[in-house]
Amino acid sequence: MLALEMYRSLPRHLAGKAIGGRVPGLLSGYAAPLRLVTIDQPRVDRPGWARLRTRLSGVCGSDLGALSGRTSLYFSALVSMPFVPGHEVVADLLEDCDDLPAGTRVVVDPVLTCAARDVEPCDACATGATNRCGRITVGSLTPGLQTGFCSDTGGGWGEELTAHRSQLHPVPEGYSDEQAVLTEPMACAVHTALRAGIRHNDRVLVSGAGSVGLLTTLAIRSLTSAGEITVVAKHGHQKELALALGATEVVAPGEVLRRLRRATGAFLVKPELGPSYLLGGVDVAVDAVGSKQSLETAVHATRAGGRVVLSGMPAAADLSAAWFRELEIVGTYSSAQQEPGLDGRGAFDVATELLAGDAVSSLAKTIAAYPLHRWREALDHAHGAGRLGTVKVAFDPRSKK
Amino acid sequence: MSRPGFVLEVDDRTPPMVVHEGEGFRLENFPLGTRTIYPPESLPAIDDVDGAIRDALLHPVDQDPLPTQLRAGMRLTIAFDDLSLPLPSMRAPDIRQRIIEQVLTMAAEAGVDDVQLIAANALHRRMTPAELRHIVGERVWRSFGPQGLLYNHDAEDHDNLLHIGLTDQGEDVEINRRAAESDLLVYVNVNLVAMDGGHKSVPIGLASYKSLRHHHNAKTMVRSHSFMDHKKSHLHHSAWRMGRLLKEHLNIFQIETTLNNDVFPAPYDFLMKREWEWSVKDQASMLAMRRGLSVAPSRLKHKLFHDLRAPYGLTGVNAGDTEAVHELTIAAVHRQQLVEVQGQSDVLVMGVPYLGPYNVNSTMNPILATCMGLGYYFNSYRGQPVVRRGGAVILYHPLDGGFNQLHHPSYVDFYEEVLAESTDPVLIEEKYEQQFATDPWYIHLYRTSHAYHGVHPFYMWYWAAHAMDHVDDVVWVGADRRAAARLGFRAATTLQDALEMVSGTVGTDPSITYLHNPPHLIADVVT
């Protein structure tokens, strides 16, 4: 089968780390540790596993981070090279999988939990907090925190992959593939909204208006009784989408502190060197980018005792305010099969419901899909998605165009 | 003998005319038939300034001589206009210094030892010690400044404000407590233009937001026709009501001064001449200046302009009862600035210079430029506006000065947030004024830094409300297009483009009037 494969290459890794952020085009050219290859279909010959044919698979910020070497080496022990990326997947079952017949269109919860690894449930999995599974390096699979980072399972950036029944969620009738491929990021956003601990009428900042920021905005507006939600957006289409998805106001990165200062009656402080910050600010801030600037914006705009939620994979940043302002820093990773705030329902179920809304439906129509052989263009597009007016770029391995 | 102002009709022989546009000038060829209103030439200055001041203090209007009002053990407060007057700042010694020194001398002779001096800056920014020292002079500053007896009025220091009462129309009158509780309040004014002075001095200069909001609002200011005619200005009517209430509680000795039109020092004095009378030297100066400004870094240009000190001459000083004094003052201002103009025109053209009352030692941001053009210059009329209702205004200014974060922090939010939503003065007043006026950060900066009060940009916008209500089209020549659009206006590259753009409003052959200032002028429009 045809697949994009990420492989170990120290020179490319270092090159991507050194200049990938400034010249993203290099990542889709010579510096990317990614190649289009013909490989055997992935197969896990254990009960509960089945093969799938990819219909669409999204390009996530974490994928781009891995390709550009921006991802922390912390994760190097949690992946198995080489692997086929792609953890936002909508696919067709090629064979029966327990109660799901072949041909069922499914989306994949990518977390490779104790159930998938065929080990005794860890404490987290036993309570449904599958995203906190502590066995992701052991069991019957090679290490890999998710499908798309594990060499045994394959990923969505290949024509086929394999998944465990515990990972599969049938796509309801009437949902387009484009809507369905947003289920995984939407489930992450649901989890983020719940982890944010937002109280009634809390003022919330969402720093970033890529797909993570936009879907998080929708989740917060739908699942919490937040008051005003301010979204930081760079581009015009992001502003419109954020407002449609529930933002109260949208501000440019350069004006966020000033706007929040005025809205919250905070004081603005300018250190001798470095960015300004607020004394006072929002109750909850969500960093939906993961860059240094975005994280510092979130930390600097949150009131003392407030909460900062790390939704994007975080970069190194100045956390002085977290100490001085006694902020709660909350990580939010993927989603759980049983979310405490949803009476035991899974984030995927709620995400599927939220995707039915008009705003997300129209957002889904903007997804740019590429065949595998045009992967360089796709990654270029994904790097410049905001600037190019796109919310999500995806691969369609079926397409030959 | 100075010549009066006059209206020139542009013909074939008329040379290009100077038009101010921020920190620069343009020589503009106006269409044939354009009326150009020139201000009167500078009136002769009083030679013996100290003698005139002494005479005013000893022979006040409708009040006892100042020395007879001074006694040992009394509480004396001297308030004075802040750095928003005159424009440009006056070459030292400032006229306020000379007056204050004489008042203090008389107070000392009478044995008065409880004296405080207060800059009547209302919601304007606190002046720096250097700025205060320029106004009052070194001697006065050294005697009072370090001891904390010479200071800026603080309109947010509620312990030191006193609510005097309500006018018959329910307007709060709240002013500086020290001034209100003094046995005698001496107010020292510089009456640069006709809207200054009178009861605009104490009831506004020493007031709080609670008091100012009654007249500094869109409804009142859109009905003030014009600000330069206090008898027809609703803003002034309100101030007058407040002043009369104050007079029942407080003994005010008003000292008002008037200046001539010597705005520009040498070698820039050719800017006060009529263009066809420029000597070869004047023409060379203009050429050199324009060439120099075109290549000078913006910081240098800014310094060049803002370091200018005007060689104003004193044309009058009167003291005594506020209203009686102000009548004499207004007459003197009119002698210097009034120009009779026959009828209105379709288009009014004005150049907005580098300086207005609120960007002394600072930058002229787009909101201040609007206030200067549509607020102050547009309102420089008596009778009726120079431009007809439904006509067009063409202004010259680059609108690229940016915002001074030290002086105008709330302006940035007003520009980015409020004007982005609406430019309607009534709407923005309803929705945003209270938020800005009570914002603790702006209040903090106003009280402890050198920031204009949070509500100040709203007032700037209200000043322009009458013009925005009166004309149908406003175009800025040479302006940044995005800034003009944010203000709700349009930008053009040249006058010809601007005239083309307003042709939908005033036709293709409109009557045009160009207000040739500075120096200041008041168009006395008669029909």
Residue A251 Cα, gap to closest chain B Cα (Å): 10
Residue B407 Cα, gap to closest chain A Cα (Å): 15
| Cβ within 8 Å, pair A258-B441 | no
Where do runs of H (alpha helix) occur along B307-455?
322-337, 366-370, 409-413, 419-421, 425-437, 440-448
Residue B482 Cα, gap to closest chain A Cα (Å): 16
Q: CA-to-CA distance for B124 and A224, rounded, in angstroms? A: 44
Task: Read off the tokens for A54.
Answer: 């990819």
The sign one gets for the Cα dihedral A7, A12, A14, A15 is negative
Nearest to A266 among B412, B416, B441 (CB): B441
Among chain B, residues having any CB pair with chain A shorter than 8 Å are: 412-413, 416-417, 435, 439-441, 444
- Which pLDDT score is estimated for A400? 77
Counted across chains A and B, CB pairs separated by less than 8 A come out at 21
Buried b (16+ CB within 10 A) or exposed e, B458-469: bbbbbbbbbbbe
- Which pLDDT score is estimated for A21? 63
What fold, for B51-259? Rossmann fold (3.40.50)
- Domain boundaries along the sequence of chain B: 6-43+270-309+337-526, 51-259
Q: Tell me, what DSSP letter sits at residue B249?
A: H
Question: Long-range pairs for B435-439 at CB < 8 Å and ≥24 separation?
Answer: B435/A262, B436/B410, B437/B209, B437/B213, B439/A262, B439/A265, B439/B410
Which secondary structure element, helix H or strand E, spans residue B119, and what is its range?
strand B114-120
Best A255, A262, A276, A279 member to test B by mutation, with max B CBs in 10 Å, is A262
For residue A266, which residues of chain B lie inside 8 Å, CB to CB? 441
Q: Tell me, what DSSP letter sits at residue A196?
A: T
Q: CA-to-CA distance for B518 and B489, rounded, in angstroms? A: 23
Task: Read off the tokens for B15.
Answer: 């040379």
Nearest residue on chain B to A250, alpha-carbon basis: B417
| Cβ within 8 Å, pair A259-B417 | yes
Nearest residue on chain B to A254, alpha-carbon basis: B416
Nearest residue on chain A to B440, alpha-carbon basis: A265
- Whether this model's ipTM surpasses 0.90 comes out as no
For residue A255, which residues of chain B lie inside 8 Å, CB to CB? 416
Sequence letter at residue A6 = M
Nearest residue on chain B to A280, alpha-carbon basis: B441
- Hey, how many other C-beta atoms are within 10 angstroms of the C-beta on A10? 8
> Could you list the pLDDT tens digit for every one of the 527 residues in chain B?
689 999 999 999 999 999 999 999 999 999 999 999 999 999 999 999 999 999 999 999 999 999 999 999 999 999 999 999 999 999 999 999 999 999 999 999 999 999 999 999 999 999 999 999 999 999 999 999 999 999 999 999 999 999 999 999 999 999 999 999 999 999 999 999 999 999 999 999 999 999 999 999 999 999 999 999 999 999 999 999 999 999 999 999 999 999 999 999 988 999 999 999 999 999 999 999 999 999 999 999 999 999 999 999 999 999 999 999 999 999 999 999 999 999 999 999 999 999 999 999 999 999 999 999 999 999 999 999 999 999 999 999 999 978 999 999 999 999 999 999 999 999 999 999 999 999 999 999 999 999 999 999 999 999 999 999 999 999 999 999 999 999 999 999 999 999 999 999 999 999 999 999 999 999 999 98
Nearest to B441 among A255, A259, A261 (CB): A261
Q: Tell me, what DSSP letter sits at residue B275?
A: G
| Cβ within 8 Å, pair A267-B440 | yes
Nearest to B256 by CA among B204, B338, B192: B192
Q: CA-to-CA distance for A153 and A138, rounded, in angstroms? A: 14
Residue matched to tokens 């009394």: B74
User: Global pTM?
Assistant: 0.84
- Listed in sequence order, the residues at least 6 apart from B403 whose beta carbon sits closer than 8 Å to its beta carbon are B363, B365, B411, B412, B415
For residue B441, which residues of chain A lie inside 8 Å, CB to CB? 261-262, 265-268
| Cβ within 8 Å, pair A262-B441 | yes
Q: What is the SS3 assignment for B276-339?
A: HHCCHHHHHHHHHHHHHHHHCCHHHHHHHHHCCCECCCEEEEEEECHHHHHHHHHHHHHHHHEE
Q: Is the pLDDT of residue A25 over 70?
A: no
Q: CA-to-CA distance for B404 and B456, rounded, in angstroms? A: 14
Q: How many CA atoms lie within 13 A of A200 on its CB side?
A: 0
Which secondary structure element, helix H or strand E, spans residue B152, and what is its range?
strand B150-152
| Cβ within 8 Å, pair B417-A262 | yes
Q: CB–CB of A303/A266 below 8 Å?
A: yes
The sign one gets for the Cα dihedral B415, B416, B421, B426 is negative
- CATH hierarchy code of domain B6-43+270-309+337-526: 3.90.226.30
Q: How many CA atoms lie within 13 A of A331 on its CB side?
A: 7
Residue B128 Cα, gap to closest chain A Cα (Å): 21
Domains and CATH numbers, chain A: 2-182+355-395 (3.90.180.10), 186-331 (3.40.50.720)
